[in-house]
Chains A and B, each alone.
Chain A
Amino acid sequence: MTTTTPHDVPSPFAGLGKKFDAALGRGIGHITRRALGPHQTAIVRIGFAATWLVFLLREWPHRAELYGPDSPWSWEMAQRLLADNGAFTVLMWSDSTLWFELVYHVAILASVGLLLGWRTRLTSVLFMLGVLSLQNRSIFMGDGGDNVIHLMAMYLVLTRCAQVWSLDARRRARPGRTDRADIVIWSLTGAALLAALISGNLTSPVWSLFLAGLWLVYAGWWVLERYAPAGEPRTVADILGNLIHNATLLVIMFQVCLIYATAGWYKIQGSRWQDGTAVYYPMQLDYFTPWPALTDALSNSGLVVMALSYGTVFVQVAFLFALLNRRAKNVLLVLMIGEHIGIAVLMGLPFFSLAMIAMDAVFLPTAFLLWLGSRTVRVRDRLLRRRPPAPADAPPAPAPAAVPIPPQSERTAPAWADRP
């Protein structure tokens, strides 16, 4: 046995201060210069906008029963509860059917706008106002899926979620075009905000400050873009935008972890999750069995039920720690998304599942998203019968050649997304 005297061993702490400083410097560089995860935030934006849009269209025939002034949860009842809990909804500004119809349809349009990334700074705010207004109006109509959409609608406002895969990105890529729509949009929204404040409808101090603050920030940005695009204030404003985006992205990722950790850790305490029969019970509940023959077949096997029960707990509890390793994270993401597709079909919870999948998407690897993007472009071009330009003398290709990667995807993929 050899003995080493203490002074032979290099201290593991040597140079730690310097390393820390360097890492801090690099970290600050990362979060100030770029809005991280452009593809991840874009897919989250598209996912939630699409979920809410399909939901609103699906419920269109039922919209009055869910959120209209004549709903079983009547306008007066909503008002009494809201006076108590203080949640935000523009639907309490008037009990007229016309106002309700206007709000519902603006919410649909805002979802379309956000989905396409059209004027995202505007449509993300309208989307949030639509989600909050409808959901808070009839709080007992929603479920876990609505809860996720509610939170994400607020978070998305603070992210630069249209850096790629959006009409905004396409417009930005065309240089030298002056944009006159902005001034119209911000004048109209400014007037609407002022009207809401003056008429005494917008009374919540927090929301008044937040919405007015947002408007002022966007107005300030517009002034900088127009009159001093090369000045330092514009750079600093851009850095602040990146910082807010990155902080919100972190909060979104934390939120996903919180959801799975909570769902998993509470399950561990349940006797049915411990004895491996838990999944059997929802499969016997009338409200969650749209395909009884299918669920009966599954729940008849004790082995399948136990595998699904234990698997669910395992995946939910492990999710948080799997983020420490890129491969483990990707495997768990696949399992998680698979489970949600199962829930969508077997339990008849498609909107809940879509929302959860949209939320999971924040952790998808950039390489996969880029591939998904190029496949989507290819399918779109095939559908629209656009062929990539071929040399004039070359014979027409039997199948469309590889579609050039759209310019936005040439950005360096953010390292954080793929690293533990």
Chain B
Amino acid sequence: MVPTDHDDHSGPADRADAVVPTESVRLSSLSLPARLVVALSIGGLAVFAAWHALAAFLFVAPSNTIMKDHGPAIRGYIYPEFEQNWKLFAPNPLQRNVAVEVRAEITDPADGSTEITEWLDLTAIDIANIRHHPLPSHTAQNELRRAWDFYVSSHDEDGAPRGLRGELSEQYVTRIALLRLGEDLGYDLDTVNRIQLRSATTRVPAPSWSEENIDTTTGYDELEWRTVDAADLPGGRNNR
């Protein structure tokens, strides 16, 4: 069954005529160039698939000898599109609840006096949107939570930003806080001069059957006050 009956139709070939299904083709009946193409493709694909698998494996594996020497090549291949992280709740699951809170300095438009609000729990808004919802939105489950993780991971111990990511993360948490202040808490953002954020971290208590003693008092970590930039208000693109 050699697919050699080339037809000389100049127009579209009749679909019904002898199309040899590839399933019944004998490789040995193909011409030499065709076999070469197939052989080279098998080799090339095998090498590429092996490289992809190896790179992905080394990327997710713990720091090791090969990555010390060839890390840049492997990371260069994996980033940005093949990036992956499968340490799902590992080595240990998160054992504390982190809430992000905000307070704002507000100008009274009537007399120009300023006052500072109570600490307002932004995470509580997320939780309210997650509770008893079968399909929680990424805006409730990931947005603020991951923004805060991003902030913490891109700042050093003393709270100084690390490069571009540190700077972006500050702007990001500020913008989320402003959005929540305006949309969910009903503040008139035009009266907000500056805001301050803090995290409230509470460890999960030890399980009831455990004898472990875990201190569950809430620890707070305050950020600097940040003056509101009109461009960071919701829809503030045009305020630049």
From the candidates A232, A284, A345, name the one contacting B34 in the complex (CB within 8 A): A232
For residue A30, give the distance in angstroms from its CB to the closest CB of chain B: 11
Given contacts A154-B81, A231-B3, contact A141 B17 (CB under 8 A): no
Please name all residues of chain B whose beta carbon is closer than 8 Å to the beta carbon of A69 when the two chains form the complex: 237
From the candidates B164, B208, B237, name the one contacting A74 in the complex (CB within 8 A): B237
Interface with A: B84-92, B108-116, B190-198, B220-228, which one?
Answer: B84-92
A239 to B30, CA, bound (A): 11
A34 to B27, CA, bound (A): 13
Please name all residues of chain B whose beta carbon is closer than 8 Å to the beta carbon of A228 when the two chains form the complex: 6-7, 13
A281 to B95, CA, bound (A): 6
A151 to B81, CA, bound (A): 8
- Beta-carbon contact of A62 and B204 below 8 Å: no
A242 to B38, CA, bound (A): 11
Please name all residues of chain B whose beta carbon is closer than 8 Å to the beta carbon of A409 when the two chains form the complex: none
- Beta-carbon contact of B22 and A287 below 8 Å: no
Judged by a CB distance under 8 angstroms, whether A299 is at the interface is: yes
Q: Interface SS of chain A: helix, strand, loop or mixed?
A: helix
Q: Interface SS of chain B: helix, strand, loop or mixed?
A: loop
Judged by a CB distance under 8 angstroms, whether B139 is at the interface is: yes
Please name all residues of chain B whose beta carbon is closer than 8 Å to the beta carbon of A93 when the two chains form the complex: none
- Beta-carbon contact of B138 and A273 below 8 Å: no
Given contacts A81-B165, A229-B19, A281-B204, contact A263 B87 (CB under 8 A): yes
- Which residue of chain A has its CB nearest to the CB of B209? A302
- Which residue of chain B has its CB nearest to the CB of A348? B136
Interface 0/1 of A288-326, CB less than 8 Å to B: 011110000001101001000000000000000000000
Within 8 A of B (CB), among A48-97: 58-59, 62, 65-66, 69-70, 72-75, 77, 80-81, 84-88, 95
Given contacts A251-B49, A284-B204, A285-B204, contact A147 B84 (CB under 8 A): yes
A315 to B42, CA, bound (A): 34
From the candidates A81, A175, A250, A284, name the one contacting B16 in the complex (CB within 8 A): A175
Number of residues from A at the complex interface, CB < 8 A = 98
- Beta-carbon contact of B142 and A141 below 8 Å: yes
- Beta-carbon contact of A62 and B137 below 8 Å: yes
Interface with B: A100-108, A115-123, A264-272, which one?
Answer: A264-272
Given contacts A254-B53, A348-B136, contact A247 B91 (CB under 8 A): no
Judged by a CB distance under 8 angstroms, whether B131 is at the interface is: yes
From the candidates A143, A229, A281, A345, name the one contacting B142 in the complex (CB within 8 A): A143
A279 to B204, CA, bound (A): 12
From the candidates A34, A65, A240, A305, name the one contacting B23 in the complex (CB within 8 A): A34
A140 to B84, CA, bound (A): 14
- Beta-carbon contact of A236 and B37 below 8 Å: yes
- Beta-carbon contact of A239 and B22 below 8 Å: yes
Judged by a CB distance under 8 angstroms, whether B60 is at the interface is: yes
For residue B125, give the distance in angstroms from its CB to the closest CB of chain A: 11
Please name all residues of chain A whose beta carbon is closer than 8 Å to the beta carbon of B27 when the two chains form the complex: 28-29, 32
Q: Which 6 A-B pairs have the closest CB atoms?
A: A270-B91, A266-B90, A87-B80, A302-B209, A262-B86, A72-B175
Which B residues contact A (CB, under 8 angstroms)?
A: 2-7, 9, 12-13, 15-20, 22-25, 27, 30-31, 34, 37-38, 41-42, 45-46, 48-49, 52-53, 56-57, 60-61, 79-95, 97, 99, 123, 126-127, 130-139, 141-143, 145-147, 150, 164-165, 168, 171-172, 175-176, 179, 204-205, 207-210, 234-237
| 21 sample A-B contacts, Cβ–Cβ < 8 Å, listed by A number | A33-B23, A58-B137, A59-B138, A73-B175, A74-B175, A77-B168, A81-B164, A140-B147, A141-B142, A227-B13, A230-B6, A230-B20, A234-B19, A243-B45, A259-B86, A272-B92, A273-B91, A278-B93, A282-B93, A287-B97, A302-B210
Which A residues contact B (CB, under 8 angstroms)?
A: 28-29, 31-34, 58-59, 62, 65-66, 69-70, 72-75, 77, 80-81, 84-88, 95, 132, 136, 140-144, 147, 150-151, 154, 175-178, 226-236, 238-240, 242-244, 247-248, 250-251, 254-255, 258-259, 262-263, 266-267, 269-273, 277-282, 284-287, 289-292, 299-300, 302, 305, 345, 348-351
